[in-house]
Homo-oligomer: A and B are copies of this chain.
Amino acid sequence: MFRMLAKASVTLGSRATGWVRTMGSHQLLVPPPEALSKPLSVPKRLLLGPGPSNLAPRVLAAGGLRMMGHMQKEMFQIMDEIKQGIQYAFQTRNPLTFAVSGSGHCAMETALFNLLEPGDSFLVGANGLWGMRAAEIAHRIGARVHQMIKNPGERYTLREVEEGLARHKPVLLFLTHGESSTGVMQPLDGFGELCHRYQCLFLVDSVASLGGVPIYMDQQGIDILYSGSQKVLNAPPGISLISFSDKAKVHHTTPVISLYCLRESLALISEQGLENSWQRHREVTAYLHKRLQELGLQLFVKDPKIRLPTVTTVTVPAGYNWRDIVSYVLDHFNIEIAGGLGPSEEKVLRIGFLGYNATMENVDRVAEALKEALQRCPKNKL
């Protein structure tokens, strides 16, 4: 065995770049990276993209709390408080309500893998990136996927969905409440009852809307609802919220520190009250829309009733490259906003006012930044 190792070392040693430390029968051939010897510093920025958002100070403080074991009773207490906080934010009494260790995308997978079997019929509202993504995952599961295709910026009516339910007899319907790639808020009233009449479960993605837009899981007949931590809740990304009535199996080291943060963000929204949070997002976004229109900008979603109060999509003004505007605002004002995504790519700018960031003052800051960007960025008459 010793002989084999010596041979391996020689072979690899010839590929090394000089730094070699002999350690027993092996050698350290990969040196400690230079870059890690410098201190970590992170820029101070206002995050007004479609998420992640800035952390609320109380959430930030929770990220600096000391570790405890994930199987201790104090941790179970925190997880129980999180469960209650999610039940409040979702307005549900479902006992199977919990935090998933993973991004919103992970929650989407959790939902679909628990609800769909190969061969199942799946009806999906594909009016933006998230519906398209759900269709893709369901396709891999082997479901028969029926996409209701729409132009980006549009939403679904009860009549359209009923047509799909009658024709495809799905076991599951997927709709996105806050379509962050297009800025559309999908109304949810009546869809749950409709689904149940057709023996179909109703699955809703509320990653970009929860806390900023009214949602009532139980009253709206939503069977499975999930959301993310890094939007209105202002917690760090990497954790998500889900509620449903099926059986699920989870086992791993839970992300203790992330759970502290999530607990604090749910405490904040409980303290504030959902109604106040919803109202603040509505008012701040109304003011944002006014300021944007005063600058001559056009909102991408035509129907004001379905404009998402958390993420606003602005049509890229004629003659401009959206990348110039995003970079200008970042470089000169330390404000992050974003371009489009999926079906809205190249077409829109996306501005998020999420939780703690949703203030009139921040509207003024981004409006001023955009005003200057429009004056200074190159404009090619096409």
Chain B residues near A29: list those with CB within 8 A: 91, 216, 218-219
Chain B residues near A247: list those with CB within 8 A: none
Q: 0/1 per residue, A46-87, Cβ < 8 Å to B?
A: 010101111100001111111111111010011011001101
B37 touches A271 (CB 8 A): yes
Copies of this chain, whole number: 2
Nearest CB on B from A241, distance (A): 14
Nearest CB on B from A210, distance (A): 14
Nearest CB on B from A13, distance (A): 9
A237 touches B256 (CB 8 A): yes
Chain B residues near A28: list those with CB within 8 A: 91, 216, 274-275
Q: Is A128 an interface residue (CB 8 A)?
A: no
Q: Which A residues between 185 and 240 are near B, CB-CB below 8 angstroms?
A: 189-190, 193, 214, 216, 218-221, 228, 230, 236-239
Q: Is A164 an interface residue (CB 8 A)?
A: no
Nearest CB on B from A103, distance (A): 4
B67 touches A252 (CB 8 A): no
Chain B residues near A338: list those with CB within 8 A: 69, 71
Partner of A252, one of B24, B103, B263: B103
The listed residue with most B CB atoms (<10 A of its CB), out of A8, A55, A275, A278, is A8
Nearest CB on B from A355, distance (A): 12
Give bound CA distance, A47 to B103, whole Å.
27
| A residues adjacent to B (C-beta < 8 A) | 1, 4-5, 8-9, 12, 15, 21, 23-33, 35-37, 40, 42-45, 47, 49, 51-55, 60-72, 74, 77-78, 80-81, 84-85, 87-88, 90-93, 101-106, 158, 189-190, 193, 214, 216, 218-221, 228, 230, 236-239, 251-258, 260-261, 263-264, 266-267, 270-271, 273-275, 278, 336, 338
A33 touches B81 (CB 8 A): yes
Q: List 29 A-B contacts (CB under 8 A).
A: A1-B158, A4-B189, A5-B219, A12-B218, A23-B214, A25-B189, A26-B214, A26-B220, A28-B91, A30-B87, A32-B271, A33-B87, A33-B88, A40-B264, A42-B68, A43-B68, A43-B72, A45-B68, A54-B66, A55-B66, A60-B64, A63-B63, A101-B106, A101-B238, A103-B253, A103-B255, A104-B252, A236-B257, A237-B255
Give bound CA distance, A336 to B71, whole Å.
10
Give bound CA distance, A218 to B10, whole Å.
12
Give bound CA distance, A195 to B220, whole Å.
56
